[in-house]
Amino acid sequence: MRLLQLHSDFVEYQPIGKEIREAEENVSSSKVRFEDLVVTLVAIENGDDENLARIAVNEIETYLVTVKSKRLLIYPYAHLTSDLALPEPALEVILSIEKFAKERLVDVHRAPFGWTKAFEIKVKGHPLAENYKIVTKQASNIAPVVANSSDRIINSWETKVSSALREEEKISSIWYILEPDGKLSPIKDYKFKAGDQNLHTLANYELAKKRLTVEQPAHVRLMKRMGIADYEPASDVGNLRYYPKGKLMKSLIEQYVTQQVMEYGGMEVETPIMYDSKHPSLESYFNRFPARQYTITSDNNKQLFLRFAACFGQFLMAKDFQLSYKHLPLKLYELTRYSFRREKSGELSGLRRLRAFSMPDCHALCSNMEQAKEELLRRFELSTTVINALGLSTTNDLEMAIRFTEDFYKGNETFINKIVSRFGRPVLVEIWKDRSFYFILKWEFNYIDSTGKASALSTDQIDVENGSRYGIEFVDENGKKKNPIILHNSPSGAVERIMFALLENCAKVARDGGKPSLPLWLAHTQVRIIPVRTQHLDLCREIYTELSRRKVRTDIDDRNESVANKIRQSETEWINYTIVIGDKELQTGLFVVRDRNQREQRKIVLAQLGDEINSLTNGKPYIPLNLPPYLSNRPQIMV
């Protein structure tokens, strides 16, 4: 059972319609509003029962006492888990929770089960206003609270939380808006303009520090419908399965980012995914990095953890290098498959935030601060190039935040202004009074999704601690040993987040009445060939062979369907080029191509079409089709 408890100023909901056949009957469609209460979102999982309902009420009561609230709304909410119980037993458990709560609490209410509801909620701003719990019968050594002799409630996911993560929640920050001309304005005094809506949203999101996901972002529906990715029922919501279309898209992004880092001068390496948690450098670093970790006990009782970044593997490697100032900046690169972070379940949502993700991670070892600043500017240009080439616009789709210590700003104002001027638009600034992390500056590009959540993509940091922490040394011009300054750059951010942002953009285009599409080089099928009748299949095969030879991903819809239905299917799969092959094409060798993005039909010869697609995808990696070319041979994914 999953509980997300929100201490709220108010909640207002309105039942819209039945979402499932087993939904409760006799439900009013009127709006319902409660003020000054705890809203407990409840997801019932397979195996939950009446005994677990009692434990859940214990937990709910404890929370109400903690926040000094006497009013409770029990709100059935399926989106907290991928392991939902069947509707009938789930309703029985919900009713048991309501019954036990009314026996012990004064003012208890419940929203209807199985209904789609529009709702609005305002959560109070204090540190305890959001509380997430997982209730289970299984004994656990993860901060358990004993409910009775046989049942326990897990108090949190993580076995170990870094001190940096705890510090992040209470860090003292001052917020500003910095404009490209260098004007720095306190955020309360800045007049947001008509084009600053996303910047304003980013500022509100960062100041609120609320990371829990209540509303499902738009890309989740698209990733399922398009056969890209889905939740894995045998795992949890933080680990996805990628279907052939999603795997191809993911691999292309990985190849492109790696290609760009190699051209920049990165040296690609590979490091382990698990490390000794008691290694002195790693234990110290963990507590300077805001992350939760997965831990493993080996067969000799050594405590290992799964890496949450590629940093320490590269640092331990660099420690064994013999370096002089002539080698610097030295650029080490790894695409981690995967990095692991034990994010809170309430923060997980589709491709946006995961527990296992692929991160292109490039570190530069620099001889001094001046070299580090010069290199950071080069990497800023690299990140800008990469993110735009991936199909996201730094001008239209992304907002920038930059964070630094007050001391660093005093001596480097011109440098910081130069970064922001290259972005070309106002950015959000966070200034720290004190340094709680290993870095003194960090910038990132952020994507604002359909739910108003900000997600960091490209980023870089100036690290002034880890050269010394890991014993990395180089010999300077005077023959003295020194520790380098280290830059931490991901030119794209997590690969899954790029996919998330592209799909969110598609959802936005669709909402605005446009035709959503992925960049052509990332499209699974670039050309769909449709035969009118079986006698046209031989020509379809010839076209398929020629386009495939020219590295164009092509397939053939040979199913026993009408041509109209096949064209509609091509449209729903966002395939840019569709060719129908009939008698006329057989006789003339000319084809009418339906260009979905240009919204036109035009006559073209095969060589011209191949040249056009090659030109539009020039400079991008190519992977052959990874599904059978004939649609009749493909398995159907049950969404």
Helix axes 537-549, 606-616, angle to 10 degrees: 40
In a domain, residue 275? The reply is yes
In this predicted structure, which of 146-150, 178-182, 481-485, 615-619 has the lowest mean pLDDT? 146-150
Whether residues 181 and 319 share a domain: the answer is: yes
Q: Do 182 and 146 have their domain in common?
A: no
Q: Could you give the maximum distance between any two Cα atoms of the chain, in Å? A: 84
Count of positions (residues) in the chain: 639
Q: Is the pLDDT of residue 146 over 50?
A: no
Q: Which residue has the tokens 């831990």?
A: 295
Tokens of 410: 């005093």
Is residue 511 in some structural domain?
no
- Is 164 among the domain residues? no
Q: Do 349 and 471 lie in a common domain?
A: yes
Residues 29 and 133 in one domain: yes
- End of a domain among 110, 127, 156? 156
In a domain, 166, yes or no: no
Domain final position from 504, 533, 557: 504
Model confidence pLDDT, tens digit, residues 175-192: 999 999 999 999 999 999
Together in a domain, 148 and 197? no
State whether 574 and 496 are in the same domain. no
Which tokens go with 549?
A: 């030879």
Q: With cut-offs at 50, 70 and 90, classify the pLDDT of residue 128.
A: confident
333 cis-preceded (ω within 30 degrees of 0): no
Cβ-Cβ contacts under 8 Å for 510 (sequence gap 6 or more)? 516
Q: Both 374 and 411 in a single domain?
A: yes
**Based on the domain organization, do 413 and 349 belong to the same domain?**
yes
Number of domains in the chain: 3
Q: Report pLDDT for 456.
A: 95
What is the dihedral sign for C-alpha 278, 323, 382, 419?
positive
List Cα–Cα distances, 346 to 110, 135, 154, in angstroms. 21, 14, 15
pLDDT for 73 equals 96
Tell me, yes or no, whether 224 and 259 share the same domain: yes
How many H-runs (helices) and E-runs (strands) does the chain carry? 16, 31
Rounded-to-integer distance, Cα 343 and Cα 347, Å: 7
Cβ-Cβ contacts under 8 Å for 109 (sequence gap 6 or more): 34, 71, 72, 73, 74
Instruction: Write down the pLDDT at residue 250.
Output: 97
Give the residue numbers spanning the domain of 27.
2-156
Looking at the fold, whether 441 and 550 belong to one and the same domain comes out as no
Domain presence at residue 618: yes
Q: How confident is the model at residue 60 (pLDDT cuts 50, 70, 90)?
A: very high
